[in-house]
Amino acid sequence: MDTPSLRGSWWRSRARIISGRIGVGSLYLVALAILVGLGAGLAAVAFRWLIVGATQLFSGTTDFAASQGHPANHWVPWLGPAFVILSPAVGGLVYGPLVHRFAREARGHSVPEVMYAVARKGGRIKGRVAVVKAVASALTIGSGGRNTALRSTSGHSLIASST
pLDDT bucket at 106, cuts 50 / 70 / 90: low
User: Which pLDDT tens digit goes with each residue over 127-163?
Assistant: 888 888 889 889 988 888 775 545 544 444 444 444 4
User: What is the pLDDT, as a whole number, of residue 161?
Assistant: 44
User: Which pLDDT tens digit goes with each residue over 60-75?
Assistant: 777 766 656 555 667 7
Alpha-carbon span 153 to 132, nearest angstrom: 9
The answer, as to whether pTM is greater than 0.85, is no
